Structure 1
Amino acid sequence: MIAYNFHAASNGARGEAKGGRWELALPASGQTPALAGVRRQDPMLSAEQETIRRLQVDADPTEARLLTAVYVSLKTYPCVVLSGRAGAGKAALVQHLVAALVGDAPGQFVRIGSAQWTAQSGQRDYYRDLHTRFGDSQLSEVLSEAQAPQGAGKLYVVLFDGLAPDELFHYLHERLHLLPVAARPAAAPPNVLFIATFHQPNQLSVRDAQLLAHAHQINVTAYRRQPPQLPPPPVGLQRAMIRDAARDVVEARDRLRAVFGGPQLPQLSPSAQIAGFLRWYGLSPDTTLDSDMWLFLANSFDRHGHGLFAADPARNLQVAYDFRMVQRVMARLDPANAALRPELARAVGC
């Protein structure tokens, strides 16, 4: 169930935000806390390894890679847009992500729904305005809580669920100044994660297409699993994610140099499988190593240099690079080529 109780006691995180015990030491017995379907870990886990472990409970390889990609994206971008057709499983994916990151802590997960239901009313404008003002009030309250001293070490997740393009424009551009990237600073604190689920229409207006071109989109073609039952997040997990996210390009490059032991990184280009697929369909990828790509690649490693997609550093870098490049291609696909999205997703492994 999605929580709307913003006025619950401030200790709703059950202590996850307080001084954490990361790195996560195992109990004295040397046994890893039990999570069904997950192999035992090394005697010392980083916070992000534990997060990925929780995310991947009972997941098949395709689901595991998709969940990891969404997590890395949330470390990197102020808002992640999960696009795709209605019924693809976007909301179920978000539910699982929230359970892994914040559990059922009151007030730390907020859902703001669409006002499209007002189209059936004879007083459409009145109810739409009322709905928007309620959504604005919810958003203001969670931002206030996140910036208060008692919320500083907690993660808050705001889901904009199934919004129409004009509604996304209102929240992401007019209210939060997140998109397009502008000179004005974002109105959101770093401990608030924004996720939007967006049903990709056949055609977008010029304004909406420009808006989404600045968003980090992940296309979800099929996510069928039921969210597994998870124990509450361990103490300090939320604070560690806030701390360990690389949001600065210089920091990102330094992290990658530390992983690969010097100023030179491995030569980056699409893997043979991806390059062949794109050539077959006449698609031209954007292979620019810009700030967007540097940040995504750096955040695919934890602060100790452990890969989140794969244990081998070079393999992890290649998987992250392929995923981000393919998602860029999908976000800019002409509607006439929309049928390629499932094939592109399969090609990149999720």
Structure 2
Amino acid sequence: MRAVQVSEFGGPEVLKVVELPKPVPADGQLLVKVDRAGINYADTHQAENSYLAQQKLPFIPGGEIVGRTEDGRRVVALSAGGGYAEYALTHEHLAFEVPDGVSDAAALALIVQGTTAWHLLRTSSHMQVGESVVVISAAGGVGTLAVQLAKLWGAGRVIGTASSDGKRGLAVDLGADVAIDADPADTLAERLIEANDGKRVDIVLEMTGGGVFDASLSALDSFGRLVAYGAASRTMGTPVAPNKLMAHSKSVIGFWLQDCFRRPAMMRDAMSELFGLVATNKLKPLLGGDYALTDVAQAHVDIRSRKTVGKLVLDPSK
């Protein structure tokens, strides 16, 4: 089978299409013929070995797939790597049958980005009706879904950040009350407060790190929650002293979707609700690009350069 393999760590140039044997499922595993594989920003970290989990060479990237099982079921599934290929393995408890009316791209948008947005709001921040929610990178895969979910679930005001007029317009079209540029970071806290009608914000969903993390924390109101779920800038924010949190009863919460994988109900509950919202057109995942397997390096260039909007997918048949 054809697959993308990483044999040395680095940027998009290390992604090579090679021929490899088709994987053989062990007990409890499913073999899936992959129709599309999802591309995530985390995949770029894995290629350079800068992610939370260390990688061992060689490996096939890709943690999400949609396709057919050997018994003919159409499923979207999580895999422990190996998704950038014509065939991939998953476990039964990490595979979800895709309902009619939900496209391959939409299913892939839900399995990681959708469940992340769901848990950021439901599990980590415990968003309450009427609260203000800031979505950093509101035009990204998680951001476009988080904006919509926050509005669906009764957020009082949703504020998005995005890097261009077009992306900010998209965030507003999806339901954000206002969208601003996160740069320059040194004035972001004041601009977030201004965007919230002069009031500090209740929740920030933050995946950039660096100065954006620092500014987001500064913009929080008393009992506000900052949920950190990425570091796209490749830098971390300033270490947070406990007294800075105690002074205004603020919280900084970390979220990593992989911690949900060991608790199947956390994935099952999220996917069930998300499938229902998509099937009834209440939630609209965005397709950001459909790349041939041979164009995988370009896909990583595009996602790293912040050119993309919505979900990127990879077609192993091309």
TM-score normalised per structure 1:
0.27
Query: Quick check: which one's strand share is greater?
Result: 2
Structure with greater contact order relative to length (CA < 8 Å, sep ≥ 6):
1
TM-score normalised per structure 2:
0.29
Query: Quick check: which one's helix share is greater?
Result: 1
